[in-house]
A and B are shown apart, each in its own frame.
Chain A
Amino acid sequence: MKLDTSGLESTAPHLGAICEPFSSFASAPSFDLPVTTDFDGFQKESVQMVKPAKGTTTLAFIFKEGVMVAADSRASMGGYISSQSVKKIIEINPYMLGTMAGGAADCQFWHRNLGIKCRLHELANKRRISVTGASKLLANILYSYRGMGLSVGTMIAGWDETGPGLYYVDSEGGRLKGTRFSVGSGSPYAYGVLDSGYKYDLSVEEAAELARRAIYHATFRDGASGGVASVYHVGPNGWKKLSGDDVGELYYKYNPISTSTVEQEMAESSST
């Protein structure tokens, strides 16, 4: 099976005879494959060992002022919370964001790789890459590893010459252009809040509050989502982080505890 390692090719000059003993390090490392007749079975077992973080809630939507992107920050390994502070919104470059859902290492590595390819595109073509192009680059790489056990469910959000752009790309090789997406185990809850509150003509503050609420409600009901709800806005001048709020504190902000006077309590208890 010929793997697509174009994503790993280095354009650095080869160092020649001086570094011969280290030539295996200088050239682009390729993925070692296990020597086994049952590749799928081996991958299934090693996925059990690695237990990639799958529980998550991420969402993104296009509106009048650009793209709003939000995510939680919990990483779980089975039932254990391995981290409450994972960065699930990855800054590919100053005007493009990617969201992370599925295997944390897969998303981190391939988003960083995408950032490198986008920068190389800029240097080679003297102009920024479009969101369409960037998402296609990522989708092609993921398609070439289809069936090998990568787990990536990401959204590429950015602002290019044609305006705001949003694509959903996953490790099955799917790539969808759209205006509203939510990915992860908490996505059904997020969609409920997002779809009912969405209007194209939202202001930046209203859209941020909608995104924040959608993530908050998903973390409330989905055990695999939690931590900090981060909200980013992508505008014509690039992305900007708008807020990062602990969802535990958001609960008390949305459901304030009302203190009642002692007289009121006594009146209530005597009447029952």
Chain B
Amino acid sequence: MTKQNANWSPYDNNGGTCVAIAGADYCVIAADTRMSTGYSILTRDYSKICKLADKCVMASSGFQADVKALQKQLAARHLIYQHQHNKQVSCPAMAQLLSNTLYYKRFFPYYSFNVLGGLDNEGKGCVYTYDAVGSYERVGYSSQGSGSTLVMPFLDNQLKSPSPLLLPAQDAVTPLSESEAVDLVKTCFASATERDIYTGDKLEIVVLNQEGLHREYMELRKD
């Protein structure tokens, strides 16, 4: 009998694109709402954005079952943190927690490509970008998912900020205003939808600032 390879994989890719941009006192996190498998669309109305804490929002693309499990894990850990420390977790702390949660599944990874957005302890916008096993970095903007290779070069062109590694240090957050950043995000997704089959239907935008969380939607091409 010839050797047969496994025809069942525990993973699937549900597609989609996520973007986050950090501003001086705000953070914009956006993701499309299409969920696909292969060439089929499972639903046009699935949110990839999850609020982890008052000042911390995560958007994830990849395998949504793993994303859901990861979100539940983080929400439970946040609840314990609130019981133990009597306060909400800060965004940098949640960023480290997400990294460790991803790494503890190093040998059976969460197939989840995340961007974490929020306000740091000083109220400035912060965005953290991850790979599937937990390596992370604080950046001024990021995108993950099937359309990320289309969106990132555009964001690099519009928002290219000096690298945080340069000495003397230069600030990484974008000088754009909140409404300009939201418009930029809408432009990103309109373009990504044109050329990526897994991105489209509707765009969900979450803006975090001093006042709190504000959510808006924009229609995208449904083809």
Please measure, in the bound complex, the distance between the C-alpha atom of A53 and the C-alpha atom of B77, giving whole angstroms. 29
Query: Is A254 on the interface with B (CB-CB < 8 A)?
Result: no
Binding site of B, secondary structure by majority: helix, strand, loop or mixed? loop
Query: Is B164 on the interface with A (CB-CB < 8 A)?
Result: yes
Q: Of A31-39, A58-66, A175-183, A185-193, which binds chain B? A: A31-39
Task: Tell me the A41-62 residues at the B interface (CB within 8 Å).
Answer: 41, 43, 45-46, 49-50, 52-53
Q: How far is the CB of B94 from chain A (nearest CB, A)?
A: 15
Whether the Cβ atoms of B76 and A105 lie closer than 8 Å is: no
Query: Is A241 on the interface with B (CB-CB < 8 A)?
Result: yes
Q: Of B30-38, B47-55, B132-140, B209-217, which binds chain A? A: B132-140
Query: Is B103 on the interface with A (CB-CB < 8 A)?
Result: yes
Whether the Cβ atoms of B131 and A104 lie closer than 8 Å is: yes
Q: Of B85-93, B107-115, B116-124, B187-195, which binds chain A? A: B107-115
Please measure, in the bound complex, the distance between the C-alpha atom of A25 and the C-alpha atom of B106, giving whole angstroms. 17
With beta carbons under 8 angstroms apart, the residue of B5, B80, B107, B131 that contacts A33 is: B107
Q: How far is the CB of A35 from chain B (nearest CB, A)?
A: 9
Query: Is B104 on the interface with A (CB-CB < 8 A)?
Result: yes
* A242 partner residues in chain B, CB cutoff 8 A: 167
Whether the Cβ atoms of B108 and A245 lie closer than 8 Å is: no
**Interface residues contributed by chain B, number (CB under 8 Å):** 34
Task: Tell me the B66-114 residues at the A interface (CB within 8 Å).
Answer: 76-77, 80, 99-100, 102-109, 111
Please measure, in the bound complex, the distance between the C-alpha atom of A156 and the C-alpha atom of B167, giving whole angstroms. 23
Whether the Cβ atoms of A50 and B99 lie closer than 8 Å is: no
Query: Is A243 on the interface with B (CB-CB < 8 A)?
Result: yes
* B164 partner residues in chain A, CB cutoff 8 A: 85
Please measure, in the bound complex, the distance between the C-alpha atom of A36 and the C-alpha atom of B108, giving whole angstroms. 11
Query: Is A117 on the interface with B (CB-CB < 8 A)?
Result: no
* B77 partner residues in chain A, CB cutoff 8 A: 25
Query: Is B11 on the interface with A (CB-CB < 8 A)?
Result: yes
Whether the Cβ atoms of A245 and B131 lie closer than 8 Å is: no
* B133 partner residues in chain A, CB cutoff 8 A: 50, 52, 103, 105-106
With beta carbons under 8 angstroms apart, the residue of B104, B131, B136, B163 that contacts A31 is: B104
> A45: nearest residue on chain B (CB-CB)?
B9
* A103 partner residues in chain B, CB cutoff 8 A: 133, 135
Whether the Cβ atoms of B109 and A108 lie closer than 8 Å is: no
* A30 partner residues in chain B, CB cutoff 8 A: 104
Whether the Cβ atoms of B99 and A108 lie closer than 8 Å is: yes
Interface centre among B99, B131, B164, B165 (most CB of A within 10 A): B165
Binding site for A on B (CB under 8 A): 5-6, 9-11, 76-77, 80, 99-100, 102-109, 111, 129, 131-137, 139, 149, 163-167
Known: A32-B105, A49-B109, A105-B102. 12 other contacts (CB 8 A): A22-B76, A31-B105, A32-B107, A41-B5, A49-B111, A86-B137, A87-B137, A103-B135, A105-B131, A105-B134, A107-B135, A109-B100
Binding site for B on A (CB under 8 A): 19, 22, 25, 29-34, 36, 38, 41, 43, 45-46, 49-50, 52-53, 73, 77, 80, 82-87, 103-109, 148-150, 227-228, 230, 241-246
